[in-house]
Amino acid sequence: MLVEHFHNAHKSAGSYPERLQSILRLKDVEIAFNEISTWPSYEQTPLVSLNKIAAEIGIKEIYYKDESSRFGLGSFKALGGTYGVLRFIKDVLEEEFGKTVAIEDIRSGKYSNNISKYTVTTATDGNHGRSVAFGAKLFGCKCQIYIHSEVSQGRHDAIENLDARVVRVDGNYDKSVEICKKESNLNNWQVISDTSYSGYTKYPRYIMAGYNVMAEEITNQMGKKSMPTHIFLQGGVGSFPGAICGYFWEKFNNQNLKIVVVESEHAPCLIKSAQKNKITSVPVETETIMAGLSCGEPSLLGWEILSSGADDFITISDDSIPSVMRFLSKNSPYIEAGESSVAGLVGLIEIMKNQKVAKNIGLGSDSIVLLFGTEGATDPEIYNSIINT
């Protein structure tokens, strides 16, 4: 169900501003893409046409970027956290040796003895922590991951299977962030988080650049096809939608393109920030089924881009999530879509049931919508319990 819609009156009509280029530039994305595309098992993920659904709801086309197979981790987060770990290792080696360190030498194992002394850490709902643990294992450093009380045992085990130490804390995601920050300061560990805040912005920038490997792939996959008129982006802390928004804003100069941010009604920190026109935290008192979107505190950098780059913000309830997951799993083309993965599609379907909102957002028979299937079955037990109900 569509719970709330807010149009952002502060959306900028101009080109991508210089002040935001200190957060994210196409050049940053190019560097990230050139590195990540060299990693073992890198493959471009599919861009799937959901033309039957598009016809049913009354729009021209839906493209769905399916991240369920990314690096075998089942989530787009594999692009960000892993790249953030690599950039930290490069930085700390250069500080230790007082010279430029080539990333190729990190990958080759030349500095493995030095790297093994370092520890990276983060707080997670599951996918980001798994990405950081994957990066630590890939490049050879230690890793400690903090999860909150509602993170499933399956997601805990998936992180632990990558040789990370996993610590479960009482409270919600924001509490796990707080404890992670405290412990990292005490132990001189490096936080690799996509949640940025005052005094911590360096590695979130790299992570956001890594996420845009998806955007680079999409641009290549679209080829000569008409580009999207609308992009629906899952909210979370705002780093993912901010990154994608910034990429398309700079590359296509806002030409007939609308950005719609989708959040859970239980964690509406971005829509509340938009309504107040300032970064705003909200208490998460009820956990959404969309675990990856259960975030009450916006990312500083993500919000900087979204505050003037997003056109609309919506919140949705959990009630349609299972049925859409089941539909995608049982129809052609088969898509393995996790709970957070279908948020954009659910938001789109619900908007098209409300012609007033659809008109306000500019959705109609000529619309081409890009969606991001951000995760697959990151917890197979939960996923199977949903689609087999």
Q: Are 174 and 284 in contact (CB under 8 A)?
A: yes
User: Is 99 known to be catalytic?
Assistant: no
What's the number of CA atoms in the CB half-sphere (13 Å) around residue 192? 35
User: Is 174 known to be catalytic?
Assistant: no
- Give the burial string for 199-220 (b: 16+ CB within 10 Å, else e): eeeebbbbbbbbbbbbbbbbee
Of 28, 65, 66, 125, the active-site residue reads 125
Residue 144 has which token pair? 């400690």
CB atoms within 10 A of CB 303: 24
Of 28, 65, 66, 77, the active-site residue reads 77
* Closest residue by Cα to residue 2 from 338, 299, 361, 371: 361
In angstroms, the CA 114 to CA 142 distance is 11
Q: Are 41 and 308 in contact (CB under 8 A)?
A: no
For 353, the 3-state DSSP assignment is coil
In angstroms, the CA 278 to CA 287 distance is 24
Residues carrying an active site annotation: 77, 125
